[in-house]
Structure 1
Amino acid sequence: MLIHRIFQVVTVIDCVVGMMASGFIVSVGSTDWMRRRKLPACDRILICLCSSRLLLQGTILHATLFPELTQWNVVRGHSVLLVLASTACLWFAACLSVFYCLKIATFTQPCFLLMKLRISAMVPQLLLGSALISLVSSLPFLWVDYSSHLCNSTRSHLKNISFESPTGNNISYFKGFVMYVTWAVVPLLFFIASSTLLIASLWKHIKQMRQNATGFKDSKTEAHITAIKSLISFLMLYICSFIAEILLGIPSCQAMSRWKHNICSLLIAVCPSVHSILLVLLNVRLKLAVKSILLYMKCHRKQDSAEALWQERKSMSSS
């Protein structure tokens, strides 16, 4: 019981930290968008990605804080929101990876060069398509029967015990689980393929630089390395989160053991939080925004201290 509480506390803290990081990225991007009336395509993808993460971690946070809620409407709402947010995160992440690949990779195939020229103009359509696919993939979960998946403390099914569907569902949990895996695998393949191509392009570029070494650092290579660090970390986090979601969603009481549930839930919450923090640390504009906020807070604190000292001296002189 104590370990379960510890997992709950860690998950809550991680969700809060992740939501703060994602909210910061969304606020900075939205502020720039309103101020300039224009936003780079990459920043648009980041705003959509972090917005979907806010929804995902907010839903996880609510489910963690109120695990005793097993009414039909609550379970259905949680499931639909989780599938919607999770699928949107996967698709927006795939869009980000494909965008980086097309913009940074140096392949010379005609089809690749054509997509490289058009990718920025295609970003709004890609984001809209990703959102629509995520919405459509979550709708069937309004009619999924979760009673065959939920288990009580004795590992027996909750069907006809404390959870009953009032709508006469005709979609079994297993079918819903298979549908989710099918929808989730597609963006995973896109992400792995684009990340692999980008890594191959970077490796080729580094080999060329070593052969033509001039003793000076190549700023383009450094930009490639920074992007690759972000993508490699994202790839690892992406795969870990995907595996955790699959293990957590396997339709059996065995898969819903307390240890597996706690570990998988924690991983699903940790992975997007870590990547949001990495995005802030690796993005120059976001890093400057953090430094500006810290500098403002430091100056404001000094100003408050100076005002307090002045008020103290004034009161002493008047007395």
Structure 2
Amino acid sequence: MTSLTQRGFVFVMTIELILGICCNGFIWLMNCINLIKSKKMSLSEFVITSLAISRICLLLIIIADIFVLCYSNLDETSITLQIINTMWTFANFVSIWLATCLSILYCLKIANLSHHVFLWFKGRVSHVVRWILLASVLFSFFISLTLIKDFSVSCIYKQMTPTANCTEDMRKKKSANFLKYLLIALWMVIPFIMSLISHILIIHSLRRHTQQMQNNGTGSRDPSTEAHTRATKIILSFLFLFTVYVVAFFIIMFGSLLPDTKLAWITGEMFLAVHPFVHSIILIFSNNKLKQAFLGMFQIKK
């Protein structure tokens, strides 16, 4: 990678990371102020606040990753990079699952469907979201522990004198690691599918509601329809950003298989950093309290 390419990459990433940290920091600060004033926090506010905190941590880890890879001579087996990769994996999975929980929460609160399974989940929305959050955090922690164990084994192999048996063991270990990373990447598909299902249900609910309003001759601009339409636009934006995020994650995960590993990593990181910033902007302008506070900072009237 040339010096000019590296400088351009650092410049673009710096802008994305600063904007992402500022937007998520704003969400966290405003929700904390509302919590102090009202002495309570709704489930959606808790999920959004937790999502903002996880993204701030993720962006800070990406900053450390960029600094180490671009301005140091550490190789991929160094302890520093291994610790950063472990922290990145944990923060990434927590952030993804929090965003998925937010999509599920919107679906259960906004969509109007008569299926008994959907009604069962809708009546237990708080329990469903809490259990998903708990399971996602535990799984992310388990994956991080697995990476730490693998990194310690790699360090042992690195310190050993190369032999035929050692080389064969390293080859087997690389094959096992590839399978493990493939399973980790496939795990990303699960929250993506859950988010996609949530989006499809909301769009289906909007279509049914619009048809009912037209059949009743009451028009299609009632408050419920407008709420459905706003939610559909927001969630479609979430889905598009989530798709970009998953593609970037796969590029980073399997970058070692491409001819130019560093270029693949740069491309993945640049797309990865877009998601926390743009998604947070959408969250701010889709929430009345956050939107009023944000516009008030710039003395802009609604």
TM-score of the two chains, using structure 2 as the length reference: 0.83
Name the count of aligned residue pairs.
280
Change (3 A) 1:110 1:184: same
Are the equivalent residues in 1 in contact too, given 2:68–2:74 (CA < 8 A)? Answer: no
* Rg larger in structure: 1
Are the equivalent residues in 2 in contact too, given 1:29–1:43 (CA < 8 A)? Answer: yes
Runs of 4+ in structure 1 off by over 4 angstroms are 145-148, 168-171
Q: 1:289 aligns with which of 286, 293, 298?
A: 293
1:86 aligned residue:
92
Q: d(CA) in 2 for partners of 1:251 and 1:294?
A: 42
The structure in which a higher percent of residues are helix is 2
Q: d(CA) in 2 for partners of 1:176 and 1:70?
A: 24
Are the equivalent residues in 1 in contact too, given 2:20–2:59 (CA < 8 A)? Answer: yes
Change (3 A) 1:218 1:146: farther
Change (3 A) 1:81 1:290: same
Deviation at 1:237, TM superposition (A): 0.7
Q: Encode CA deviations 1:294-319: one digit per residue, 9 max, x unaligned.
A: 349xxxxxxxxxxxxxxxxxxxxxxx
Change (3 A) 1:14 1:7: same
Q: Percent same amino acid at aligned positions?
A: 29
Are the equivalent residues in 2 in contact too, given 1:137–1:183 (CA < 8 A)? Answer: no
Q: d(CA) in 2 for partners of 1:175 and 1:290?
A: 45
Q: d(CA) in 1 for partners of 2:88 and 2:250?
A: 13
Q: Encode CA deviations 1:134-181: one digit per residue, 9 max, x unaligned.
A: 212222111335999xxxxxxxxxx78xxxxxxx99954313412321
Q: 2:148 aligns with which of 142, 145, 151?
A: 142
For the aligned residue pairs, the C-alpha RMSD in angstroms reads 2.7
Q: d(CA) in 1 for partners of 2:257 and 2:153?
A: 11
1:184 aligned residue:
188
Q: 2:41 aligns with which of 2, 25, 39?
A: 39
TM-score of the two chains, using structure 1 as the length reference: 0.79
Change (3 A) 1:147 1:243: farther
Q: What is the letter of the counterpart of residue 25 of structure 1?
A: I
Change (3 A) 1:195 1:105: same
Q: What is the letter of the counterpart of residue 276 of structure 2?
A: P
Change (3 A) 1:252 1:126: closer
1:305 aligned residue:
none
Q: Encode CA deviations 1:176-196: one digit per residue, 9 max, x unaligned.
A: 412321332221221111111
Are the equivalent residues in 1 in contact too, given 2:82–2:151 (CA < 8 A)? Answer: no
1:49 aligned residue:
51
Q: Are 1:209 and 2:219 counterparts?
A: no
Q: d(CA) in 2 for partners of 1:253 and 1:216?
A: 52
Q: d(CA) in 1 for partners of 2:131 and 2:39?
A: 19
Unmatched 5+ stretches in structure 2:
160-168
Unmatched 5+ stretches in structure 1:
149-158, 161-167, 297-319
Q: 2:244 aligns with which of 240, 247, 264?
A: 240
Q: d(CA) in 1 for partners of 2:220 and 2:111?
A: 22
> Where in structure 2 are the equivalents of 1:220-235 lying within 5 Å?
220-235=224-239
Q: d(CA) in 2 for partners of 1:197 and 1:205?
A: 12
Deviation at 1:211, TM superposition (A): 3.2
Are the equivalent residues in 1 in contact too, given 2:255–2:265 (CA < 8 A)? Answer: no
Instruction: Report the secondary structure of 1:143's partner residue.
Output: helix
Q: d(CA) in 2 for partners of 1:12 and 1:70?
A: 21
Are the equivalent residues in 2 in contact too, given 1:83–1:180 (CA < 8 A)? Answer: no
